[in-house]
Amino acid sequence: MGRFVYSMNVSVDLRIEQVPGDNGAGEWLHIDEEFHREANARTRDVAAIVHGRVFYEVMEEFWPGSRDDASLPDFLREYGELWTAKPKVLVSRTRTRADHNTQVIGGDDAIEQLAAYRARTDGAIGVGGASLATQLLRAGLLDELLLFTHPAILGFGRSLFDDVDVPLDLDLLEQRSFGSGVTMHRYAILDASEAR
């Protein structure tokens, strides 16, 4: 069985975007080569990726074209290749098709479909998108958090999760610091089934 790992860039106050629609691409991020190579390695290691529609559309807008863009550094081109090639699931009520090795699921049973996908997948399954991660958390299906915390306090903007009304215990599995001031923390969610 696989495990769902919600991976996200966050501010110190656990915001993922400062302005609606920046979807983690804000100027407050401190992304350098060292950080991006770590992101590449993490992406290389996942069995698959699951995205909500908004997050997916941000990714598909840039990364497929980056693979062959000679003006970009090699680590960005590499990430574009990794993202495009990885098996992906797009969870959407409005889209029925997607390119780049992507399966689309939707409808009222999307979370049940994702539970079945997790059951038949070995390894980590990356999760992108706050709404989707919140739904997985509420269903007791979110297994880990992989947070890249940037040295910024936004004070407002989109939170890491939508409303979660029960406390959750986490177990720190791994941590690392980068020269840019970013810290990585990977946590196991100990009582995800209680988030329902």
Q: Which tens digit of pLDDT belongs to each residue from 119-137? A: 999 999 999 999 999 999 9
pLDDT bin (cut points 50, 70, 90) of residue 165 is confident
Architecture of the domain delimited by 2-195: 3-Layer(aba) Sandwich (3.40)
SS3 content of the chain, % helix, strand, coil (to 5): 30, 30, 40
Mean pLDDT value across residues 55-84: 94
Specify the pLDDT at position 192: 54
Mean pLDDT rounded to a whole number for the chain? 92
Please tell me the least confidently modeled range out of 75-84, 92-101, 132-141, 186-195.
186-195
Q: Are 195 and 167 in contact (CB under 8 A)?
A: no
For residue 52, what are the β-bridge partners? 91
- Cα angle 151, 157, 163 (rounded to 5 degrees) comes to 110
Q: What is the mean pLDDT of residues 152-173?
A: 89
Q: What pLDDT score does 163 carry?
A: 83
Is the model's pLDDT at 20 over the cut of 70?
A: no
Place of tokens 């919140």: 134
Residue 36: pLDDT band (50, 70, 90) is: very high
Task: Give dist(CA 126, CA 133) in Å, integer.
Answer: 10
Angle between helix 110-119 and helix 130-138 axes, rounded to 10 deg? 80
How confident is the model over 3-11, as a mean pLDDT? 96
- pLDDT higher than threshold 70 for residue 21: no
Residue 93, token pair as written in the block: 């009520």
